[in-house]
Structure 1
Amino acid sequence: MKSNFFLVLAALLAACSQNKAPETQTPAAAATPNLPTSPDEVRISPAQVQAAGLELGSFTWKNLASDVQANGVVDVPPQNRASVSAVMGGYVQSVAVLPGQQVRRGSVLAVLRHPDYLKLQQEYLQSRARVTFLQQELRRQQTLDAEDVGAKRKLQQAQSDYASEQASLQATTGQLRMLGVSLNSLNQGRISPTVTLTAPISGNVATVRINPGQYVNPQDVLVEMVDPSHMHLELQVFERDVNQVHNGQQVLFRVPSQQHGPEMTASVYLVGKSFDPEKRTVNVHAHLEPERTDLIPGQYVAASIQTGAARQRTLPEDALVQAGEFSYIFTQVGPGSFRRVKVIAGAAENGDVALRLLAPLPDSTHVVRRGAYFLDAELKKGQDAEE
């Protein structure tokens, strides 16, 4: 009986072991890809490298003409600008010019009228007559003094009166000349209630700020004129580039209206010694070569100052990602791993762009020469995913 019991127990255990489900094997955890250690680092698979057509290489050294980019305006020297005002206040009787009109020096710009003009001319004529009388009186007293007949006091009084009135006449004469009143006509007794404003320089009328019937004060600017015979460029160069700019360097520039054709030329004449604390720029004055008449003072220009040829690091244009004032390149830091580096792009020649590195990189650095925009897109995609 006991042997049968053990046989039955063994059979039951064997049946249980056969019916027991196999243990589920937990698969090994998938290998977690290494995450970039820097926000400027991107990692891609070998398949992506091949699909994007990435081309690796190194910097190429070439002799390129270096330049400094600058913006500015067409301008004229201060002596080629004129602001016309009234010497004495008055009412505008007529305006003889329009904005943009070309006039010669001495041309009539406007006519003013006021009773004070009549009064000043009257004072001139009265003073002139009194000077004549006092001059005659002085001669009489000098004659009497020479004959030892007249009193010394009367001679001294005559001398004083004559000198005082002569000074008054000279002052009144100066005021009338500033007003533009003809003294020849006035000496003939012709008094005019009007005065004319004339052009102090030859050039173009820039603005006209008066109209008939308007009262103007001496401090008001009535007409502005510009003489475009000697135009130049006023350029703004960033503080970091100003040490490369020197007198005599050639400047190539364009204006917005010139989309095609050769660039216009100028030469650096003066480099400023102070900079704008807000824009961090220095003014550079350049003379046009040759002089031009098809430009307008105030026009915006985009210029390139040629600072000379130099041996520089270069990369193909496809290796750079443009980002405003700066550009970016990508360097290889490991298999499938690339780092974005900020640089400043310089002159371009035959598809190669000169670079200014903001941080030192050895010449042996592996650089992405083609496919930089693909890496930049992947970098931004990864940054957006993290956000």
Structure 2
Amino acid sequence: MGAAAVVLVGTLARSRRGHGASAESSTRDVPRLDGTSVVFSNAFKERAGLAFTKVESVPFKPAVRVVGTVAFNPTYVAAIGTRLRGTVRRTYKYEGDRVTAGEPLAEVESADLAEAQSTAIQAEASLRTAEVQAKREKDLLEKSLTTAREAEVAATDLANQNANYKAAQQRVRAFGGNGTFGTFVMRSPIAGHVIERALSPGQSVDGSIVGYRVADLDHLWIELSVFERDLGLVHLDDDVEVSPLAEPGVKIIGKVAHVGEIIDPTTRSTAVRVTVDHPKYHLRQGQSVHATVTTGTASRHALLVPHASVVHVDGRPTVFVAESDTRVKPTTVKLGGSDGASYEILDGIVAGQRVANAGVFALKSELFR
């Protein structure tokens, strides 16, 4: 008997002695320890729903199953700021509203914008005057009615006025001027849904306020935290199956877009980002999901047992190997990878053996109470 098996049987024996195993077994139909094995009746087997499956070497492709959180893809999120000081005149959109690219969100009245627009109007008038003067001086020079210096001065003034006009126009554009005098119309640069609004009519604002956030919910991220031991199985572009915790039957397909370069020294894990484009199911930011990453590595043959077959006794992964229909042997095993439904067994059992795959929890509960 191996050292792990000795410890396991010792633990079982102490558990049974501590609860009066002989007296209990004479009055209740419960499993009992017989050497290194556990014996139970057909009645207990039926009551606990015990069933067994054969261990086989089959093609195996590891998968990593973790819990993740839905987040917005920042590439498809827009923060629309107020740009300048003023007063909110009107709001058009509210949280949850759908918007198209270029659609108005709110209006802000601003003296700064009005001043910039006035300056641009004055600059345009000065430019037109300079154009007329420069043309006049050019015509007079051709007729030798003025000096070359006067024509040069007029041409230089025209260039200066043109530069002033372009600068004034640029300042108006920077303030978001788009037609209405003294009124800045906030518009969404992308199509999506309003996820945040920080403006109300009559509110005074300055240029540092983010008035709206708009997100395209057709493009989302799933943020995963993958343990260091599983990182070798996760690669860029691996397929990922995502299911909301509230609805495990829903399956949404994504792909690994980024594997973190830094291991958290406390959790021994790193961040893995999954992109989900055009999900058929409505996901919400902050929602918890199960994610199964199917590794892109080639499949290999391995011994597999169902997840339900493995229990932990004193921290050791353990399976119940059938010796007969009413006799099992608790056996410590060494686990490898997982495909989301089965564990790979590296040591402890061999192909052809049968292990309990149903009623395992009831068996363990009776033995290790």
- Normalised TM-score (structure 2): 0.71
SS at match of 1:169: helix
**Separation (CA, whole Å) in 1 of partners of 2:150 and 2:134:** 9
Q: Any conservation in 1 of the 2:113–2:177 contact (CA below 8 Å)?
A: no
2:303 pairs with one of 290, 300, 313: 313
What's 1:163 paired with?
Answer: 159
Query: Between Structure 1 and Structure 2, how many residues are aligned?
Result: 326
**Letter in structure 1 aligned against 2:302:** Q
1:1-387 maps to which residues of 2 (within 5 A)?
A: 42=11, 44=13, 45-46=33-34, 49-51=38-40, 60-182=56-178, 192-231=181-220, 233-260=222-249, 263-268=250-255, 270-272=257-259, 274-278=261-265, 279=267, 280-288=269-277, 291-292=279-280, 294-307=282-295, 309-315=299-305, 319-321=309-311, 328-329=317-318, 343=335, 346-347=338-339, 353-355=342-344, 357=346, 363=350, 369=356
Alignment identity in percent?
21
**Separation (CA, whole Å) in 1 of partners of 2:271 and 2:300:** 24
* 1:284–1:356 CA distance, 2 compared to 1 (3 A): farther
SS at match of 1:116: helix
Q: Any conservation in 1 of the 2:224–2:273 contact (CA below 8 Å)?
A: yes
* 1:171–1:149 CA distance, 2 compared to 1 (3 A): same
**Separation (CA, whole Å) in 1 of partners of 2:131 and 2:281:** 57
Alpha-carbon displacement from aligned partner over 1:330-367 (angstroms, at most 9, x marks no partner) = 699xxx99675664672365xxx32355xx65749x99
1:218 CA drift (Å): 1.6
1:210 CA drift (Å): 1.4
What's 2:24 paired with?
Answer: none
Q: Any conservation in 1 of the 2:58–2:302 contact (CA below 8 Å)?
A: yes
SS at match of 1:160: helix
Alpha-carbon displacement from aligned partner over 1:201-223 (angstroms, at most 9, x marks no partner) = 12111011111222222221110
RMSD (Å) for aligned C-alpha atoms: 4.0
Q: Any conservation in 1 of the 2:65–2:340 contact (CA below 8 Å)?
A: no
1:41 CA drift (Å): 5.1
1:236 CA drift (Å): 3.7
**Letter in structure 2 aligned against 1:272:** V
Gaps of 5+ in 2: 14-32, 322-327
**Separation (CA, whole Å) in 2 of partners of 1:38 and 1:46:** 15
1:95 CA drift (Å): 1.5
Q: Any conservation in 2 of the 1:42–1:378 contact (CA below 8 Å)?
A: no
Q: Any conservation in 1 of the 2:333–2:345 contact (CA below 8 Å)?
A: no
SS at match of 2:39: helix
SS at match of 2:210: coil
**Separation (CA, whole Å) in 1 of partners of 2:142 and 2:6:** 112
1:73 CA drift (Å): 3.5
Q: Any conservation in 2 of the 1:94–1:211 contact (CA below 8 Å)?
A: yes
Q: Any conservation in 2 of the 1:267–1:286 contact (CA below 8 Å)?
A: yes
**Letter in structure 1 aligned against 2:209:** D
**Separation (CA, whole Å) in 2 of partners of 1:43 and 1:228:** 53
**Letter in structure 1 aligned against 2:247:** Q
SS at match of 1:312: strand
Alpha-carbon displacement from aligned partner over 1:265-312 (angstroms, at most 9, x marks no partner) = 324253425245254224233444x64363334433211122364322
**Letter in structure 2 aligned against 1:50:** V
**Separation (CA, whole Å) in 1 of partners of 2:57 and 2:135:** 94
1:38 CA drift (Å): 5.5
Alpha-carbon displacement from aligned partner over 1:299-328 (angstroms, at most 9, x marks no partner) = 3321112236432223355642159xx872
Gaps of 5+ in 1: 1-35, 184-190, 382-387
**Separation (CA, whole Å) in 2 of partners of 1:56 and 1:196:** 70
Larger Rg computed on CA atoms: 1
Q: Any conservation in 2 of the 1:81–1:226 contact (CA below 8 Å)?
A: yes
1:122 CA drift (Å): 1.2
Q: Any conservation in 2 of the 1:72–1:233 contact (CA below 8 Å)?
A: yes
Alpha-carbon displacement from aligned partner over 1:113-167 (angstroms, at most 9, x marks no partner) = 1222221121111110000111112222333444455344433332332222212
Q: Any conservation in 1 of the 2:304–2:344 contact (CA below 8 Å)?
A: yes
**Separation (CA, whole Å) in 1 of partners of 2:316 and 2:108:** 61
What's 1:20 paired with?
Answer: none
**Separation (CA, whole Å) in 2 of partners of 1:320 and 1:214:** 61
Q: Any conservation in 1 of the 2:87–2:204 contact (CA below 8 Å)?
A: yes
**Separation (CA, whole Å) in 2 of partners of 1:80 and 1:70:** 25
**Separation (CA, whole Å) in 2 of partners of 1:174 and 1:156:** 27
* 1:77–1:337 CA distance, 2 compared to 1 (3 A): closer
**Letter in structure 1 aligned against 2:229:** R
* 1:199–1:322 CA distance, 2 compared to 1 (3 A): farther
